[in-house]
Amino acid sequence: MLILKPADIRPSEITSEANYLNRRQFIKAGAMAGGAALSAPASSAIVPAERGAKLDGIGASRFSTDEPANSFEDITTYNNYYEFGTGKGDPAKNAQGFRTRPWTIAVDGHAEKTGPIDFDDFVKPFDLEERIYRMRCVEAWSMVIPWVGISLADVVKHFRPTSKAKYVAFETLLDPVQMPGQRRRVLDWPYREGLTIAEATHPLSILAVGLYGEVLPNQNGAPVRLVVPWKYGFKGIKGIVRMSFVESMPRTSWNMAAPHEYGFYANVNPEVDHPRWSQARERRIGAGVFSSKQPTRMFNGYAEQVAHLYTGLDLRKHY
């Protein structure tokens, strides 16, 4: 019997959302039919170096939204990645020659396992999963993105942080030769971000290595970037080369640049306006003539899963 695996369909061939949704229904149907061959991920993740290469052994996730995904085109041509320029179209143009191999991630701080680790070895112990998440940018636009990633909770546990580790800090590559945006001090480079340990070990947090079933395009943060769907997009640090287990709250790029506008937590919150604009509504990118604004939801619609992380915290003060 010929079984067409989702893995046999090259995602970049997919031009319409409708096709993609069919593929998703197929994955779901396979998973529901107990299709272990479809949904059981490979126990060791392999992420090819080649741009556009297909990722194999992707499991489906119960955390995916059913909302229609944005097109590959929307997701890969409307980007924020200041290392490659500040215009939305700059990263797609300027990141094409960016080298994502060899790629080393330094793991340091309060953990039992630390040291520099080659990216391909870094991802190996984990399962690849597709996570279709709503993403909300602080600039009041949103997209739905079919990420492929590994659970950040699994990654954190793997390195066995000690009780002193209260936060996880991340850093992007510093390489002004390859990253023309770093030749200007638009931000204090390298780009930095951080999460509390509770946020980093929440099942929704992932490190993305792909989208639409293939290797993450450079402009979206290849080879590995953070995705935390209940926070504004700027928390999703791209091109990660350092992961540190630290005791005190780490400094983060946007908070350092404009502390009154960007806090450490950066939870999507329609009730707390950005000092220069409202966060009550958002524009879904690619929605065409029907792109009227829609209401923004608390924690980007993930309140049921994450609100407990912030009990007792004044969300107006800790924005």
Catalog residues that contact ligand MTE under the rule CB under 6 A.
79-83, 137, 172, 191, 220-221, 233-234, 236-239
Nearer to ligand MTE, 125 or 176 (CB): 176
Largest CA distance in the chain: 61
d(CA 1, CA 134): 37
Neighbours of 43 (CB within 10 A): 10
Residues 6+ apart with CB under 8 A from 177: none
Q: Name the minimum Å distance from CB 121 to ligand MTE.
A: 22
- 3-state SS, residue 136: strand
Nearer to ligand MTE, 156 or 241 (CB): 241
Cβ atoms 27, 6 nearer than 8 A? yes
Q: Name the minimum Å distance from CB 33 to ligand MTE.
A: 33
Q: Name the minimum Å distance from CB 137 to ligand MTE.
A: 4
Nearer to ligand MTE, 98 or 161 (CB): 98
Cβ atoms 279, 299 nearer than 8 A? no
Residue closest to ligand MTE when measured from CB atoms: 233
Q: Name the minimum Å distance from CB 210 to ligand MTE.
A: 12
Nearer to ligand MTE, 90 or 127 (CB): 90
Nearer to ligand MTE, 202 or 238 (CB): 238
Q: What is the dihedral of CA 77, 226, 108, 197, to 10 degrees?
A: 160
Q: Of 129, 121, 186, 126, whose CA–CA distance to 156 is shortest? A: 126
Give exposure, 230-257, as e/b (b: 16+ Cβ within 10 Å): bbbbbbbbbbbbbbbbbeeebebbbbee
Q: Name the minimum Å distance from CB 238 to ligand MTE.
A: 4
**Tokens found for residue 307:** 């609100």
Neighbours of 112 (CB within 10 A): 9
Q: Name the minimum Å distance from CB 76 to ligand MTE.
A: 8
Q: Name the minimum Å distance from CB 195 to ligand MTE.
A: 13
